[in-house]
Amino acid sequence: MRLFAFCIVAAGAVSGRLSAQPGWFVGGGVGVSTLSGDARSAISANATALSQYKPENGPLAHFFAGRQFAEWLAVQGAYSWNRNSLTLTSALFEGGRETLYEQSRGSRQHAGAVDAMVYFRGRSSWVRPYLSVGLGVSSFHSSRRELLTVKGSPDPPGQSFSATKPGLRAAAGIELLHRGGWGFRYAFLETLQGNPIGARLTPPGKRGLANFQNQFGVVKYFR
Handedness of CA 148, 154, 159, 165 (dihedral sign): negative
Report the pLDDT averaged over residues 68-72: 89
pLDDT reported for residue 195: 95
Whether residue 6 is contained in a domain is answered as no
pLDDT band at 65; cut points 50, 70, 90: very high
pLDDT reported for residue 22: 56
Whether residue 2 is contained in a domain is answered as no
Whether residue 91 is contained in a domain is answered as yes
pLDDT reported for residue 4: 31
For the stretch 19-58, pLDDT in tens is: 445 589 999 999 999 999 999 988 888 889 999 999 999 9
Whether residue 136 is contained in a domain is answered as yes
pLDDT for residue 217 is more than 80: yes
Q: What is the pTM of this model?
A: 0.84
Nearest to 85 by CA among 155, 160, 143, 161: 143
Which CATH number covers residue 48? 2.40.160.20
Whether residue 106 is contained in a domain is answered as yes
For the stretch 113-133, pLDDT in tens is: 999 999 999 888 899 999 999
Cα–Cα dist 97/25, whole Å: 61
Q: Are 174 and 127 contacting, i.e. CB atoms less than 8 angstroms apart?
A: yes
Give me the number of domains the chain comprises.
Answer: 1
Q: What is the domain range of residue 199?
A: 23-222
pLDDT reported for residue 120: 95
DSSP 106: E
Q: What is the dihedral of CA 173, 36, 208, 61, to 10 degrees?
A: 50
Whether residue 17 is contained in a domain is answered as no
For the stretch 132-159, pLDDT in tens is: 999 999 999 999 999 888 888 888 888 9
- Mean residue pLDDT across the chain: 88
Whether residue 213 is contained in a domain is answered as yes
Whether residue 11 is contained in a domain is answered as no
- Residue 9: CB atoms within 10 Å: 10
DSSP-derived 3-state class of residue 113: strand
Q: Are 94 and 47 contacting, i.e. CB atoms less than 8 angstroms apart?
A: yes
